Structure 1
Amino acid sequence: MIITLDGPAGAGKSSTARELARRLGWFYMDTGAMYRAVAWVALSRGIPLDDEARIAHLAESITIRFHDGRVFVGEEDVSTAIRTPEITAATRPVANAPLVREAMKRIQTRMAQGINLVTEGRDQGSEVFPHAELRVFLTASPEERARRRLNEEISRGRTTTLHEILAAQDARDHGDSTRAVGAMRQPDGAELLVTDGMVPEDVVLLLLEWVAARCPTAGASPVL
């Protein structure tokens, strides 16, 4: 069984998908980390970020894997390296490149073969796994998402304002929803889950109910 969680930045997709997969004993695919890993390798090898064909080939030539909540490229743990501001900036042109997205779609489809999977991103239910048994568009109001991000930044000791976060969030939403390939949208037939006023535990419990309703006998599968 495949569960997809799509939605805008700050909606809680990653934390929700990770916890849902943990509760189910299923494999969690962090697609954002995968694009970051490709961008990290491209920078480390001096490949120009606008060389779409080379980066698409690169994506299919490396091995990205997840283990115990860590991200690996080959045998190298890149979990920390891919979370720097430099990689964040480099990931956008990589993720926006049509050839790269097509390559990543093939990679993600192969990774999902024969296992129970929870995956999250912008286009998982609309483009990568359109026939997934449960597709969810997870979102919240712009103000709610910005407040959550502000609290995260404060907890990390960073200085910012709600206005700054809202402005950056609006720009990212526009870019994600208007790009040529893999645009963020609610997949046709997907469940809409607006999480304003919900605590994370309530979101996970509701999703577990939806999973049970669609596949009562779904059990754990080996974690890659």
Structure 2
Amino acid sequence: MTQRRVVVAIDGPAGAGKSTIARRLAERLGFTYIDTGAMYRAVALWALRQNVDPTDMHRMEQLALAAEIELQPGRIRLNGEDVTEAIRSPEVSSGASKIAVIAGVRRRMVDKQRSIGERASVVMEGRDIGTVVFPDADVKIFLDAQPPERVRRRLLEVRAKGEQVAESTLALEMEERDRRDSTRRDAPLAQAPDAIYLDSTALSIDEVEEAVLKIVRQRVTNGKEFH
């Protein structure tokens, strides 16, 4: 394994398979998977416990700054406590979506994400990782898929959780999210100029994983050092 720290940034729209690929890649390479969603959830959980209104921007930024967040394979710790299960409640989900739009909170989270990237090799996915969070990432991938395929994948995900939603409703929601992500002022979804574009429409998860792994090997080690 290469000794230097490596940062792999995976960006792309909703339903492209970023989270699944980032998790599998991190596991395969022995890197830390920076689960941004879990990080925001951890701060939202703390806000709930402290009875802080998630719309109170100043207090939320203070909490985000003070939160000590540790990421381990499949686990997350907040201020020394394992909160992996605690952050999955509907109340925490709701709070996380409210605080994720606060610019000050996002700034603090980006600082923490960069700090993790300074201590270990990481894989991180999102919508602005290669452009904003880790602009100097060793490997940048823009993972995409055609809209009908992204809707199909998200539909399978949602139904696997036992939720019922019409395909047409989901398609409209994702179209709106794409529009919002691409046009927002604060860190919009965009492909970094030096990112490799990967269309996963016709590929299985295993095939996407192998394709990304190949890119990482070529970019970081000339194919020699990774197993």
TM-score by length of structure 1 reads: 0.91
Residue 172 in structure 1 maps to residue 177 in structure 2: yes
Deviations 1:54-100 (A, max 9, x none): 21121121111122311221233322332333333322231111111
Residue 208 in structure 1 maps to residue 213 in structure 2: yes
| Alpha-carbon distance in 1 for matches of 2:18, 2:208 | 10
| Alpha-carbon distance in 2 for matches of 1:91, 1:173 | 19
Greater shift in the superposed pair: 114-123 or 129-138: 114-123
User: Which of 17, 38, 46 in structure 2 is aligned with 1:41?
Assistant: 46
Q: Would the alpha carbon gap of residues 81 and 182 (structure 1) be closer, same or farther in structure 2, given more than 3 Å must change?
A: farther
Q: Say which SS state the counterpart of residue 120 (structure 1) adopts.
A: strand
Deviations 1:78-132 (A, max 9, x none): 2233233333332223111111111111111111114211111121111010011
Q: Which residue of 1 aligns with 2:27?
A: 22
Q: Which residue of 1 aligns with 2:3?
A: none
Q: Is the 8 A contact 2:67 2:78 kept in 1?
A: yes
| Alpha-carbon distance in 1 for matches of 2:89, 2:32 | 25
Alignment: residue pair count: 220
User: Which of 147, 151, 159 in structure 2 is aligned with 1:154?
Assistant: 159
User: Which of 188, 198, 209 in structure 1 is aligned with 2:203?
Assistant: 198
1:63-142 to 2 correspondences below 5 Å? 63-142=68-147
Query: Any stretches of 5+ residues in structure 1 without a counterpart?
Result: none
| Alpha-carbon distance in 1 for matches of 2:97, 2:121 | 29
Q: Would the alpha carbon gap of residues 87 and 141 (structure 1) be closer, same or farther in structure 2, given more than 3 Å must change?
A: farther
TM-score by length of structure 2 reads: 0.89
Q: Is the 8 A contact 1:32 1:121 kept in 2?
A: no
Across the aligned residues of Structure 1 and Structure 2, the Cα RMSD in angstroms comes to 1.8
Shift >4 Å, 4+ stretches: 217-220
Q: Say which SS state the counterpart of residue 187 (structure 1) adopts.
A: coil
Q: Would the alpha carbon gap of residues 84 and 174 (structure 1) be closer, same or farther in structure 2, given more than 3 Å must change?
A: farther
> Aligned-pair distance for 1:155?
2.1
> Aligned-pair distance for 1:218?
5.1
Q: Would the alpha carbon gap of residues 101 and 199 (structure 1) be closer, same or farther in structure 2, given more than 3 Å must change?
A: same
| Alpha-carbon distance in 1 for matches of 2:53, 2:73 | 32
Q: Which residue of 1 aligns with 2:15?
A: 10
> Aligned-pair distance for 1:175?
2.6
Query: Any stretches of 5+ residues in structure 2 without a counterpart?
Result: 1-5
> Aligned-pair distance for 1:219?
5.4
Q: Is the 8 A contact 2:21 2:205 kept in 1?
A: yes
Q: Is the 8 A contact 1:101 1:182 kept in 2?
A: no
User: Which of 41, 57, 62 in structure 2 is aligned with 1:57?
Assistant: 62
> Aligned-pair distance for 1:162?
0.8
| Alpha-carbon distance in 1 for matches of 2:94, 2:173 | 13
Q: Say which SS state the counterpart of residue 141 (structure 2) adopts.
A: strand
Structure 1 letter corresponding to 2:67: I
| Alpha-carbon distance in 2 for matches of 1:123, 1:136 | 11
Q: Would the alpha carbon gap of residues 44 and 114 (structure 1) be closer, same or farther in structure 2, given more than 3 Å must change?
A: closer
Deviations 1:138-171 (A, max 9, x none): 1212211111111122222222221121122222
